[in-house]
Amino acid sequence: QLQLQESGPGLVKPSETLSLTCTVSGGSISSSSYYWGWIRQPPGKGLEWIGSIYYSGSTYYNPSLKSRVTISVDTSKNQFSLKLSSVTAADTAVYYCARRLGIRIDYWGQGTLVTVSS
């Protein structure tokens, strides 16, 4: 059974960079056809797609976040990562890592709350 687990700091200061890692177990991140991505959900609000990466390194980002987002993959560790720079309080959210096949997102991590505060 595929499992995804987010890890990283739960508190980030304004203007700094948010960094999260997703560890994939029970399957290979190098499997063809699958995209690996990040989705966030501010408290009490809806889901927002941040971006996705293919194991080859091809990336796709939400245009509203593109200037601040970097998603990378480490196939040797079966991990992929998110960096979001110049964060503000508006970036406070539960961040989910997930696997996407086509348009469907079939596996999600449990989510991790990241709070932006000084």
Contact residues for other proteins (CB under 8 A)?
37, 39, 46-49, 52, 60-63, 96, 100, 102-106, 108-111
Which residue number, 14 or 106, has a Cβ lying nearer to other proteins? 106
Minimum separation from the CB atom of position 54 to other proteins (A): 13
8 Å CB contact between 70 and 83: yes
Minimum separation from the CB atom of position 47 to other proteins (A): 4
**What does 3-30 look like in DSSP terms, one character per residue?**
EEEEES-SEE-TTS-EEEEEEEESS-TT
Distance in angstroms (rounded) separating the CA atoms of residues 66 and 77:
25
Minimum separation from the CB atom of position 72 to other proteins (A): 18
